[in-house]
Amino acid sequence: MKLVKRRRLPRHLLLFPLSWTRSLFTKTIREAAANVHKRLRQVEYRTQAADHPILWTGGEQASYYLKFYIFQVVDEEVFCPL
């Protein structure tokens, strides 16, 4: 997040956490944003397509591995909701 350039309009950050659980990833990204004084606005969250079905056996990591996030990243003092 430190590499996202400061601008008046929100910048986008795309993340593809393949091997993390959703709860661990969201906790980590929330802490990282707070650490660099950025505000995140989740624009989209998706999982794998139908050709990669999520099996409900074997735990979350067994087949629920393709995740995709789009966030808008803005400095806390420049936040302007859309």
Let me know: does 17 contact 67? Beta carbons within 8 Å.
Answer: yes
pLDDT tens track of the chain, all 82 residues?
A: 555 555 555 577 888 877 677 788 889 889 989 998 888 899 998 888 888 888 877 665 667 778 888 998 877 655 455 5
Question: pTM score, two decimals?
Answer: 0.65
* Burial class (CB within 10 angstroms; exposed 0-12, middle 13-18, buried 19+) of 71: buried
Beta carbons of 75 and 37 less than 8 angstroms apart: yes
Residue 3 has what pLDDT? 53
Tokens of 27: 């906790």
